[in-house]
Amino acid sequence: MIPFAHYEESAAALRDRIGSFRPEVLMVLGSGLGYMGDLVEDPIIVPYQEIPHFKVSTAPGHKGQLVFGTLSGKRVAVMQGRMHHYEGYSYEEIGFPVRVMKLLGCPCMIVTNAAGGVNLDFQVGDIMLISDHLKIFLESPLRGPNLEEFGTRFPDMSFLYTPVLQEVARQSARELGQTLREGVYMYWPGPQFETPAEVRLARTLGADAVGMSTVPEAIVAGHCGMEVLGFTLVSNMAAGVLPQPLSGEEVNAAAEAAREKFSKLILACLGKL
Ligand code: HPA
């Protein structure tokens, strides 16, 4: 279990780099959107290797650095590259950077991912506002001794995806003339894609999309009282929906293709936070 001192040591090392800069929004960007870190004005870039106790992300297209600066007039910390359970990290390790940002005074997280569409009304390229999630039968990132410094032992998850931020997203999409889907994101650990039977199970349980990230970070953020806004890019229809196999290349291509639309929406939301 990670002791509180490790979080403090990481935060202290980052304070040495960023001075009195206090991020207002942590951005955890999934496949295809990492480039948004390159749009940050007056950036201070800190590679994960230079931060004590930080892990390095190994997924393709994930740079592995934090970018502090200004985006849409907000002070942001952009994680270019996140950790996944399938890379070998524990859920606790995946949540580590979120808690460090909390110690730096950051009150809010925007989290994005690419995922498989389970809802048959969805199409590849759709953006879904995450209204809730499903993560069943798997270990919690909060497992182990509770760190009271961050939050309570049994945190409420009723309003994890902050309702007023969801409204900001709806309004931003309306103003941009974009269609915004809404739904439940179901977490699967991967790295194998789900089977068609698992996708049918997910649909029966009320999932609209399936993916391999986001939920560990969201739980940790909710536990320490951060507001959360989450978006999913439907990068493919989930297994079994179409008569064709899935591939990581297809996911990346769809994420690239949607990049402009997706980043416009996120910048618009940021401006309104
Ligand atoms: N399943 C799980 N994760 C994913 C998918 C999927 O279909 N597409 C992109 N990430």
Ligand 1 site-directed mutation target among 113, 236, 256, most atoms within 8 Å of CB: 236
CA of 13 to the centre of ligand 1 (A): 35
Q: Which atom of ligand 1 is nearest to the CA of 213?
A: 3
End-to-end Cα separation, the chain, in angstroms: 34
Ligand 1 within 6 A of CB of 215: no
CA of 233 to the centre of ligand 1 (A): 10
Q: What is the pLDDT of residues 11-66, one digit of tens each?
A: 999 999 999 999 999 999 887 788 888 899 999 999 999 999 998 766 665 678 99
What is the distance of C-alpha 224 from the center of its chain?
16
Angle at 98 between CA 60 and CA 254, to 5 degrees: 35
CB 91 within 8 A of CB 141: yes
How buried is 226 (Cβ within 10 angstroms: 0-12 exposed, 13-18 middle, 19+ buried)? Answer: buried
Instruction: Kindly report the backbone phi and psi dihedral angles of residue 75, in degrees, each rounded to the nearest multiple of 5, phi listed first.
Output: -80, 120
pLDDT at 32: 76
Ligand 1 within 6 A of CB of 194: yes
Ligand 1 within 6 A of CB of 31: no
Ligand 1 within 6 A of CB of 209: no
Ligand 1 within 6 A of CB of 236: yes
Ligand 1 within 6 A of CB of 238: yes
Position 151 pLDDT exceeds 80: yes
CA of 164 to the centre of ligand 1 (A): 28
CB 122 within 8 A of CB 209: yes
Q: What is the pLDDT of residues 203-261, one digit of tens each?
A: 999 999 999 999 999 999 999 999 999 999 999 999 998 988 888 888 889 988 999 99
pLDDT at 138: 87
Given the structure tokens 């499903």, which residue do they identify? 134
CB 229 within 8 A of CB 161: yes
CA distances from 119 to 32, 209, 212, 236 (A): 22, 7, 17, 11
Helix and strand counts by DSSP (H, E) for the chain: 7, 9
Residues ≥6 apart with Cβ < 8 Å to 266: 27, 33, 36, 110, 112, 231
* Ramachandran quadrant class, 45 (left: phi over 0; alpha: psi -120 to 50; beta: rest): beta
Q: What is the pTM of this model?
A: 0.96
Q: What is the pLDDT of residues 80-137, one digit of tens each?
A: 888 899 989 999 999 999 999 999 999 999 999 999 999 999 999 999 999 999 998 7
CA of 210 to the centre of ligand 1 (A): 6
Q: Which helix (H) or strand (E) holds 259?
A: helix 259-272
Given the structure tokens 């939050």, which residue do they identify? 151
